[in-house]
Amino acid sequence: MTLFIVFGALALGAAVAMVFQRNAVHAALLLVLNLLAVAVLFLSLGAEFLFASQIIVYAGAIVVLFLFVIMLLGVDRSEVVLEHTPFQRRQIALGAVSALVLIGAAAPVLGSKTLTAKLPAIPKTFGSAQSIGTVLFQTYLLPFELTGLLLLVATIGILMLAKKKPR
Amino acid sequence: MDWLDVVIILVKVVVCFLLLNLLLAVVVWAERKVIADMQSRIGPNRAGPYGLLQSIADGLKLFTKEDIFPLSADRIVYPIAPIISAVPAFLAFTVVPFGNMLSIGHRHITLQIADINVGLLFFLAMGSIAVYGVALAGWSSGSKYPLIGAVRSSAQMISYEIAMGLSVIPVVLYAGTLSTRGIVLAQQHMWFIGAQIPSFLIYLIAGVAECNRAPFDLPEAETELVAGFHTEYSGIKFMLFFMAEYMHIVTISAIAVTLFFGGWMGPHPNFLVPLWGVLWFLGKTAAFVFLFYWVRASFPRLRYDQLMNVGWKFLIPIGMAWIPISAAVHIFDIRRVVLVGAGVIVGIIVLSLVLPTKKPEVLTEEEAKTTA
C-alpha cells in the first residue's frame, strides 16, 4: 500500500508536470518517469513480466524514439514553444472540461468504501509470463494475430511511403 | 522475512557493489595491459607492480579534477545523464547468478543479488534504459559532436537490442524459464552452447555493439567526433560514463556465461563447493572480457551503413529464422546435431538472399567482420 501511494503519486505528478513542461526533452523525460512509476505499480502487484515489458517497450523503445525525433528535428528550441496558438487554447479548455467530467463521474465510486471490499483477491499467477502467454496465444489467439497483421500493414505502408520513386 | 534476511540482502548488495568496483579497476588495467601486449607496447608500468595501481590512480585523478559545466549545457539534464548511464549498468548485474547456494546453518543463501523470475527481461530492460544516459548526455551538452555521437549511439543500441532480444529467445525456450538461475540449472546435463551456436554468435556481436565497443564504437569515433557523447564531460561525471561502459562489458560477459556456458557449473573437488562455482563463473567471465579486448585490438571500425546493415539485414533475419527451428527441434526432439546442421543451412540461405543486393567490395569486408 505504501508502495502504491508513493509511486502512484510519482506517476501522477510526473504526468501533470509533463503536460505543463515547455521544454520538449524535459517533457519526454517526465513521461519516462511516469512510465517507470507505473512499472513499479505493476511490480507491487506481483506482475513481474508486465513490469519488465513496460520498461522494455515503453521506456526503452517508444520514448527513446520520441527523444530521437525531438533531438533530430530540434523542436526543443525555445522560440517554437513560447506562445500558445488559438488551437492550443481550445485544446486546454476542452481538456479541462473533460477532466472535470471524468472526476465528477468517478467521485461517487472513489468516495464509497465498498470499492476495496468488492475486489476479488489477486490470483497467484497474475501477470506472470505463463498466464499472459496462455491468454495471448490460446484464449485470444485470433485477435492477437489480427493485431500483428495490422502492425505489419502499417510497417509495409511506411516502407512504401518512404521508398524513393524511380525516375 | 525476518531481520536476518534483510541483513543478508544488504550484505550481498554492499559486498557485490564494492567487489564490482574493484573488479572494474582490474578490468580497465587488464585491458590496457592486454592491448599494449598485442600492439608490442608495455602499457601501464609506473603505479605499483606491473602498473596494477594505475586504475586507482586514474580514479583518484578524475575525482579531484575540475568539473567543467559548459555554459550551453542543460541545467538539469546535464548532471543527471551520467547517473542515468551508470545506475542501470550496475543494476543489470543484480540478476547475474555468480554461484549456486551457500548454506550456513539451515539458511540457504543464493549467490545472486536478486533471483526474480523474469531476470533475463530485467537485464534487457536495464540495457534499454542505458540508452537514455547516452542520448541525454549528447543532447544536454549543447554542442554538436556530442549530439551526433548520441544520435548514432541510440540508433545503434536500439537496433542491436532487437538482435540481442531475438538471440536469447531460443535459450528461454530450451530452459523453459526467464529466471537467470533457472537457465543455469537447466544446463546441468549440457551447456546451451552445444545446441545454440547461431544464437550465441548473434548475442556476442550484438553484445559488443551494445557496449559501443570497437569495432562498433562509432558513437565515440575519435577521428570524427572528438569523443562522441561524453566530449563535454570531465572529472567525476566522465568517470561515471567510463565505469558504465566497463560495467556493461562485465555484465554482458556474465550473461553470456549464464545463457550459453553453464554459469557457475564446472568440475570441482568436493570441498568448499559453492566457492568453486564462483571461481568457475569468474574464470568464464574473464575469458569473455578477454574476447572483448581481443576483438578491439583486431578489427577496424565499421562504417555507419555497414553497422546498420549488419544489424538489420544480417543478425535480425538469422535470429528470426533460428527461433522456429529451435522451437521445432525442442518439440519434436530431433537430435541436436540436426539443429546445428539446419542452422548452417539457414545461415547460407539468408546470406545468399541478403548479400547479392550490395556492391561486391562492400560485401566481402562486411562478411569478414560478421563471421569473425
C-alpha cell at A94: 476542452
pTM of the model: 0.80
For B260, residues 6+ apart whose C-beta sits below 8 A from its C-beta are B171, B191, B192, B193, B196, B199, B200, B203
Q: What residues of chain B, 67 to 106, have a C-beta less than 8 Å from chain A? A: 74, 76-77
Task: Assess whether pLDDT exceeds 60 at residue B49.
Answer: yes
Which secondary structure element, helix H or strand E, spans residue B323, and what is its range? helix B316-332
Sign of CA dihedral B250, B230, B77, A49: negative
Which pLDDT score, from 0 to 100, does residue B47 have?
A: 79
Residues A144-157, mean pLDDT to the nearest whole number = 92
CB of B351 within 8 A of CB of B197? Answer: no
Confidence band for B33, pLDDT divided at 50, 70 and 90 = confident
Whole-Å CA distances, B299 to A125, B28, B351, B363, B365: 48, 19, 21, 16, 11
Using a CB–CB cutoff of 8 Å, tell me whether B125 touches chain A. Answer: yes
Instruction: Name the phi and psi angles at A46, rounded to 5.
Output: 85, 10
Please say whether the beta carbons of B115 and B179 come within 8 A: yes
Report d(CA A92, CA A15) in Å as an integer.
Answer: 15
Q: According to the model, what pLDDT value does residue A160 have? A: 87
**Cell numbers at A98, concatenated:** 473533460
Residue type, A33: L
Verify whether the Cβ–Cβ distance A56 to B121 is below 8 Å. Answer: yes
Give per-residue pLDDT as tens, B167-176.
999 888 888 8
Q: How far is CA B84 from the centre of its chain?
A: 17
Residue B362 has pLDDT above 90, yes or no: no
Domain edges within chain B: 15-60, 65-358
Q: What is the pLDDT of residues A9-53, one digit of tens each?
A: 888 898 888 887 777 788 888 888 899 899 888 888 878 888 888
Nearest to A60 among B129, B138, B150 (CB): B129
Rounded CA-CA distance A154/A149 in Å is: 9
- Asked if residue A79 has pLDDT above 80, the reply is no
Chain A residue nearest residue B133, CA to CA: A64
Say which amino acid occupies B294: W
Between CA B122 and CA B132 the distance in angstroms is: 16
Residues 6+ apart with CB under 8 A from B14: none
Checking A71-76 for CB contacts under 8 A at 24+ apart, the result is A71/A25, A71/B135, A71/B138, A71/B139, A71/B147, A71/B150, A71/B151, A72/B151, A75/A24, A76/A23, A76/A24, A76/A25, A76/B139
Q: Which residues contact B354 (CB under 8 A, 6 or more apart)?
A: B313, B314, B317
pLDDT in tens, B229-266: 777 787 788 888 888 888 989 999 999 988 888 878 77
Q: Percentage of chain B surpassing pLDDT 90?
A: 1
Which member of A59, A61, A71 has the closest CB to residue B139?
A71
Count of beta carbons in the 10 Å neighbourhood of residue B321 = 19
In this predicted complex, what is the ipTM?
A: 0.76
B131 inside 8 A of chain A by CB: yes
Question: What is the structure's pLDDT at A146?
Answer: 93
Helices (H), A45-85: 48-53, 63-73
Query: How many contacts (CB atoms, under 8 Å) link A and B?
Result: 69
Q: In angstroms, rounded to a whole number, what is the distance separating the alpha carbons of residues B227 and B137? A: 12
Classified as helix, coil or strand, B88 is helix
- Pick from A60, A71, A129: which is nearest to B125 by CB? A60
Stretch 84-143 of chain A: residues touching chain B, C-beta under 8 Å:
128-129
| Residue B249 · residue B289 · CB < 8 Å | yes
Judge whether residue B273 has pLDDT over 90: no
Q: Give per-residue pLDDT as tens, B71-90.
A: 777 778 888 888 988 898 88
Q: Do residue B151 and residue A52 have CB atoms under 8 angstroms apart?
A: no
CA distance B252 to B237: 23
- Looking up cell 546445428, which residue turns up? B340
Chain A nearest-CA distance from B151, in A, is 7
